[in-house]
Amino acid sequence: MLKAIALFAFNVLIVSSTTSAASASPLTNNSSLSGKILWSTCPPGSPLGLDCGTIDVPLAYKQSGSLEPDTNQTVTLGLVRHRTNSTMNKLGSLFFNPGGPGVSATRTVISLVASDTFGLSQALKEAYDIIGLDPRGVGSSTPVQCDPEIYNERVTTMVNNTADFNILIDHNRHLGASCANLTGPLLDHLDTIHVVKDHELVRQALGDDKFNLIGESYGSQLGSQYAALFPQNVGRMTLDGNLDHSQSEASSLHAESSTYETVLNQFLSWCDRDSTCALHNQNASHALDELLARADAAPLLAPGCGDVGGNACQPNVTGEDLRYNIQGHGFLSIVSATYGSNWYDLAQALAEAADGNATLLSTSIETSNISPSNSYASLAIGCQDWLHESTCAADIQSKTQMASTFAPRTRGASQSFGYQVRCIGWPAPLTNPQAYLNERVGEAPPVLLVNSIYDPETSIVWAEGLREQMPSAVSITRNGAGHTSYLLRGETSKAMDDFLVQGILPSDGSVYQS
């Protein structure tokens, strides 16, 4: 089976950190613990100025904007706080959500605050306490658990006949049943509305007047849905790499897959121009098409995969795997000062694959009930948040045909498509499907929306769509490629800092070159 592709994330940036704030906590039934943060000492080796904590929150909230629990059961959330070293000018807490869904915020914040040259600016770290709160199901919070053997089954999602459709749905049901068995009732309460309410309870527990946020990627959905539910509590919020959670399945797929292919084609042109590309001088488009055709005919081998050395991946790589993983493994997405360096890595991986070793493009596998990369949570959250209404092979085939018109190389393989097909038959209800944001979002103070023009994961189309729904927002664009912009520390990041630290908004529609 294809890996849960945490594409709306920049998790590839931060996998180097293995420190985790706390070990995963089980569900509890002690509701008197609810609502209070228990701070404790962080594991040895944690950065200076870090506090680690947990808070119990209701397993389920009542409907709409209520923070009232709907049950006695609670889940435990893990969080970290990087304390500002400045007593002057402290603006309160700033939540940093790295997206996914399913990327651990505690792990991300730990790795970002430890670096002076990458990630969060010094000004930001001085102005705020930085909070990483693992969403329910993720990281150090009560985890989603699934059966890894079922998860790893090889099943095609590019279904074009009834037999393959039935295999896919049986697989989805079977995997979902294992997750329900192992996770318990939490599996039904993972949608973004629950996550928004958890963040609101933590804001209150921290004693903050307002909710300040950097929401990266899927974190932009957390931010926009928060602003729609609690507009009066919004402080300074920047959403970087925007999701538009209002579109039909077809529109989401069209936007994401055609943007992904556009960026892939830019990569191929770069290869033809730049001699550092491993596919230089051989017509990169042709080389990629050949590789895809070969992999479609018979899977490529991935001899470096195995459980050893933490490199758990499938022993072979199909054309479908390649189409997902060129995007999902982050090759096109990683932002760095020189885009060439990530594109360089992609070219390297493709050249190795053409030489008979497709290890770097192989789909990862899981080896335990709790996924260190939070793949299970990524899928489980997505299945409660994104429409997946196909009921037969023809429904799926017509989607891939549509997508192939605009994205002939990648044919619709994308995170949006992943949820549309892998969630069919999922046991948990679809509780937060796409819908326009409640118009109360207009009561929020200006939110700063940020997107790069050539973002292969969160399309500029979505940034426009989100802007339409947030009349008080100000939006800015980075004229470049890659997923999200803050961590680049360029002009775009500076504009975000000016807003977060000084409250100075850029002019609406500004375009930055870095």
Ligand X SMILES: *[C@@H]1O[C@H](CO)[C@@H](O)[C@H](O)[C@H]1NC(C)=O
The binding site for ligand X (CB under 6 A) comprises 27-30, 32-33, 72-73, 85-86, 122, 126, 147, 154, 158, 160-161, 174, 177-178, 181, 283, 285-286, 289, 299, 303-304, 314-316, 352, 357, 359-360
Q: How far is the CB of 154 from ligand X (least distance, A)?
A: 5
Nearby residues of 186 by Cβ (< 8 Å), 6 or more positions away: 27, 59, 75, 136, 137, 142, 144
Q: Based on CB atoms, which residue is closest to ligand X, 63 or 86? A: 86
Q: In this structure, what token pair is assigned to residue 454?
A: 């050539």
Nearest Cα residue to 223 out of 208, 206, 244, 207: 244
Q: Based on CB atoms, which residue is closest to ligand X, 312 or 453? A: 312
User: Could you write out the DSSP letters of every residue in 125-143?
Assistant: HHHSEEEEEPPTBSTTSSB
Q: Based on CB atoms, which residue is closest to ligand X, 294 or 440? A: 294
Q: How far is the CB of 42 from ligand X (least distance, A)?
A: 18
**Quick one: which H or E segment has residue 12?**
none
Q: How far is the CB of 384 from ligand X (least distance, A)?
A: 19
Gap between the Cα atoms of 5 and 115, Å rounded: 26
Gap between the Cα atoms of 105 and 121, Å rounded: 17
Gap between the Cα atoms of 453 and 301, Å rounded: 35
Gap between the Cα atoms of 453 and 470, Å rounded: 19
Nearby residues of 74 by Cβ (< 8 Å), 6 or more positions away: 27, 28, 29, 30, 31, 33, 34, 56, 57, 58, 59
Q: How far is the CB of 422 from ligand X (least distance, A)?
A: 16
**Residue 266, amino acid:** Q
Q: How far is the CB of 217 from ligand X (least distance, A)?
A: 27
Q: How far is the CB of 341 from ligand X (least distance, A)?
A: 16
User: Could you write out the DSSP letters of every residue in 91-112?
Assistant: --EEEEE--TTT--HHHHHHHH
Nearby residues of 298 by Cβ (< 8 Å), 6 or more positions away: none
Q: Based on CB atoms, which residue is closest to ligand X, 161 or 336? A: 161
**Residue 441, amino acid:** V
Q: What's 164's DSSP letter?
A: H
Q: Based on CB atoms, which residue is closest to ligand X, 174 or 280? A: 174
Q: How far is the CB of 29 from ligand X (least distance, A)?
A: 4
Nearby residues of 397 by Cβ (< 8 Å), 6 or more positions away: 159, 160
Q: How far is the CB of 66 from ligand X (least distance, A)?
A: 17
Q: How far is the CB of 342 from ligand X (least distance, A)?
A: 16
Q: How far is the CB of 219 from ligand X (least distance, A)?
A: 26
Q: Based on CB atoms, which residue is closest to ligand X, 19 or 362? A: 362
Gap between the Cα atoms of 56 and 416, Å rounded: 32
Q: Based on CB atoms, which residue is closest to ligand X, 18 or 86? A: 86
Q: Based on CB atoms, which residue is closest to ligand X, 357 or 484? A: 357
Cβ–Cβ < 8 Å for 104, 23: no
Cβ–Cβ < 8 Å for 157, 417: yes
Q: Based on CB atoms, which residue is closest to ligand X, 229 or 284? A: 284
Q: Based on CB atoms, which residue is closest to ligand X, 6 or 353? A: 353
